[in-house]
A and B are shown apart, each in its own frame.
Chain A
Amino acid sequence: MITVIFYILSAITLGAALLTVLSRNPIHSAIYMIVCFFSIAGHYMLLNAQFLAVVHVIVYTGSVMILLLFTLMLLNLKEKHEPHKAIISKITAVLASCLMAFVLFAAFMKAHPVIEQYKETGVDFQSVKVLGNVLFTDYLVPFEFASVLLLLAMIGVVMISKKDLKQDVD
């Protein structure tokens, strides 16, 4: 049962990722990307990482998706917004990514895990309670710096994307 769910979710993940890359309309790309991210959240649920599944859905469908769609709306692209690439560079791109996959496969086929046999210890390590405890004791300083990072990103985005006032006066 779980195995079937895993294979279905993996098929959805890979198919949606491929459709994201290959579809011509950028809005379709954004929507396929969200399907891909939902299936990754499903993988997190399957691994019993509830906290990360919820955070993933909130971050990626709540903020990234909305940002991407707003940007697409602002840009107001035509259907044919990008010129066709030469066929040779398309072939090169496919070849290069296949070779990358081949190299990674070759590297990981030979690798042996440190723990040879996976077995459960029964210790609770990924419930929301335990993760919150870890986050606010061992990783408190990085957690606070993450908030600083988000604040700086927000200020930076406003500074970058606002129109230059001096140019409007001229």
Chain B
Amino acid sequence: MAENVLKLIGIDSYIYLTILLFSVGILGVLFRRSMIVLLMSIEIMLNAVNLLLVVFSVYHQDSAGQVFVFFSMAVAAAEVAVGLSILVSIFRNAGSIDFATLRNLKG
């Protein structure tokens, strides 16, 4: 059933979908001030790029792209864990997760 999805839809639609998804992630980074939503937006951008890697891997019929996506998922899991723990310690010290309040280094 799903053997020829790229033949039916074409790689262009997938590229446009991932561009839109990536731009939504950028919108989240710029639009919100809450750090936890910022982390979620970074995850969305990461997933857009992962999806494009899988699409190109299927397009070239090469399994290396899917292995790279697997590694980037491992890195994403580590990144989320470290980011959230940094966020918790920031919340303990500053009392909020609004990143506009973090201006101690500004002088």
Contact = CB atoms under 8 A, between A and B. Distances in A.
Interface of A: 2-3, 6, 10, 13-14, 17-18, 20-22, 26, 29-30, 33, 36-37, 40, 43-49, 51-52, 55-56, 59-60, 63-64, 67-68, 71-72, 74-75, 77, 81-83, 85, 90, 92-94, 96-98, 100-101, 104-105, 108, 113, 115, 118-121, 123, 125-126, 130-131, 134-135, 138-139, 142-143, 146, 149-150, 152-154, 156-157, 160-161, 163
Contacts of A131: 63, 66-67, 70
A71 B88 CA distance: 7
Interface residues of B, number: 75
Contacts of A90: 31
Nearest to B28: A21
8 contacts: A10-B13, A40-B50, A64-B43, A71-B36, A75-B87, A81-B97, A104-B22, A156-B85
Given A64-B77, A77-B97, A94 B27 contact: yes
Contacts of B23: 97-98, 100-101, 104
Interface of B: 1-9, 11, 13, 15-17, 19-28, 30-34, 36-37, 39-41, 43-44, 47, 50-51, 54-55, 57-64, 66-67, 69-71, 73-82, 84-89, 91-92, 96-98
Contact of B88 (A93, A118, A161): A161
Given A64-B43, A71-B84, A46 B34 contact: no
Contact of A59 (B59, B63, B73): B73
B11 A105 contact: no
Given A82-B97, A115-B59, 18 more contacts: A6-B5, A21-B24, A26-B34, A36-B47, A48-B2, A48-B5, A49-B57, A59-B77, A63-B81, A68-B84, A93-B31, A96-B26, A120-B4, A126-B66, A131-B66, A131-B70, A146-B71, A153-B79
